[in-house]
Amino acid sequence: GQNIDQPTEMTATEGAIVQINCTYQTSGFNGLFWYQQHAGEAPTFLSYNVLDGLEEKGRFSSFLSRSKGYSYLLLKELQMKDSASYLCATGGYNKLIFGAGTRLAVHP
């Protein structure tokens, strides 16, 4: 079957580091995507991993292990504006499956 799991909620402090994990099982694989979605808005693309390893993009990094079916999104130097839902997505055959999202609350 196809399944994506990620924690429902996380909290963190402004300026800290947070890691959001995602495990997946899919029948095809065309890469692992992370999206950020603020309340009431559309998702915006953050990162894409197709090979194992870490991809760094400013304060955000994303890691992939295809053999383990595992990815994480690392957010450094957290800011209040990072409070949002983070969606993990993967799939194949021209379709993506989305996780339910991890709601991150950043506190002062």
Binding footprint of another protein on the chain (CB under 8 A): 4, 30-31, 33, 41-45, 48, 87, 89, 94-96, 98-101
Residue closer to another protein by CB (options 67, 94) is: 94
Those residues whose C-beta lies under 8 Å from the C-beta of residue 39, and which sit 6 or more positions away, are 84, 85
**DSSP code, position 91:** -
Q: Which of 17, 33, 30, 24 is nearest to 78 (CA)?
A: 17
The C-alpha torsion from 46 through 75 and 86 to 67, rounded to 10°, is 80
Considering the complex, what minimum distance in angstroms separates the CB of residue 70 from another protein? 18
Q: Are the C-beta atoms of 15 and 29 separated by less than 8 Å?
A: no
Considering the complex, what minimum distance in angstroms separates the CB of residue 77 from another protein? 25
Considering the complex, what minimum distance in angstroms separates the CB of residue 30 from another protein? 5
Considering the complex, what minimum distance in angstroms separates the CB of residue 20 from another protein? 14
